[in-house]
Each structure stands twice: as C-alpha cells, then as structure tokens.
Structure 1
Amino acid sequence: MRDDLDDEFGEYSHEEILQALVQHLLTSDELDQLCDDADLPQLTDADGQPVHITSARTYQDAGVLTLDRGVWLELSDGSVFGLTVQISRRPTTEVTLRRR
C-alpha cells in the first residue's frame, strides 16, 4: 500500500497532501457556510448576493505556469486567487504515508 501512496504523492508529499486538502475544503461546502463555520463575515457581490467558489483547481490543472503547488480559486464575483503551498523546511526524518 505504501508504494501506491508514494506513486500518488511522490517526493513532495507534504505539498501534494496540503494542496489536495485545501482544494477539498474549499469545494466541500459553500463559501458562505465556510465563513459561518469560521465565524467570519460572508463575502457578498455588488448585488448583495453571497459570493461562491465557481472553481477550485490545482495550479497544474488550472494551467498556472509555476513549479509551486497550490490551488487556483475563481469566485462568482469574477475575482481569482492563487493559494500557494510553499515549504520552508523539510522534515528531518523519514515521513510515512498511510491511508485511514
């Protein structure tokens, strides 16, 4: 099983897993619900309608020209954001991946 996980996440497992987690979190619920859950104000557009995420894709899937890992977000109000996952320090010991 470990070989399957190594193939899926490769050498950059931390970045890949965090990228997948951010993408999942931002597509698993409506943006207004996520704001409520985090006790944050909701984003609304010029008409007072809640802003929602229309697309959340990895940088690679979105065609972003970078070697960084991250999630490309497109919102219903026309705004676009890139959330980059950047490693500042690698672990000092071997990391093992396991499925739950």
Structure 2
Amino acid sequence: MQTISREELEAMNGSEKRDFVLINVLPREDFRHEHIRTSINIPKASEDFSDEVERVAGSKEREVVLYCANFDCPLSAEAARELDEKGFNHVYDYEGGSADWLKHHH
C-alpha cells in the first residue's frame, strides 16, 4: 500500500489517464452526502469488501485508490491494508479524502 497526495490523484485522473478504480470506503449515507465525482462506493464495513473490490476492478493487478472522509479518518488505511493482505498489487490510500479534494474542486 502506498499513500498518494491530491496532486498525484489529480494526475492519475487527468493527464496520466491511468486505468484505476477510485473507491470511497465510507458508509452509503456518507457517500451520498459528499464524494469525489469519479468514485464508487464500497463501504469498508461490507462483509465481502475485498471480493467486491476485486469484482469492480476486474483483477488484483488493476490500480485501486481508496479514500474516506479526511486526514483523520482511518478507514481507507485499514481498507488498503486488507486489500494488500488479500493479494492486490497496486493499492493506494488517498489520506486527504473527500474533505481535502472538495476544498480544491468545487
């Protein structure tokens, strides 16, 4: 698992056009309240979290970026560790989360 900054995520999303999945790991109601536009929601609390990520990503080789609410939210780091343990090879934790992203993208 690697952590990435907002700038790195912007580059992946923009100029680099990388093929990755951006996943919000918060509960559904938090996701509905606010999220990064290109992301999907797979709550960390889901029983089959890693299976669901693999289904969406299509493969454990695809890049997966996880995020939650803000720098203080531990969920994305916990989710990233779980995916690492399940054999995903390219897992990133965007620690700033929704709060950091939305502060710069209105």
By relative contact order (CA 8 Å, sep 6+), the higher-ranking structure is 2
Normalising by structure 2, we get a TM-score of: 0.27
Larger Rg: 1
Q: Give the alignment's TM-score, normalised by structure 1.
A: 0.28
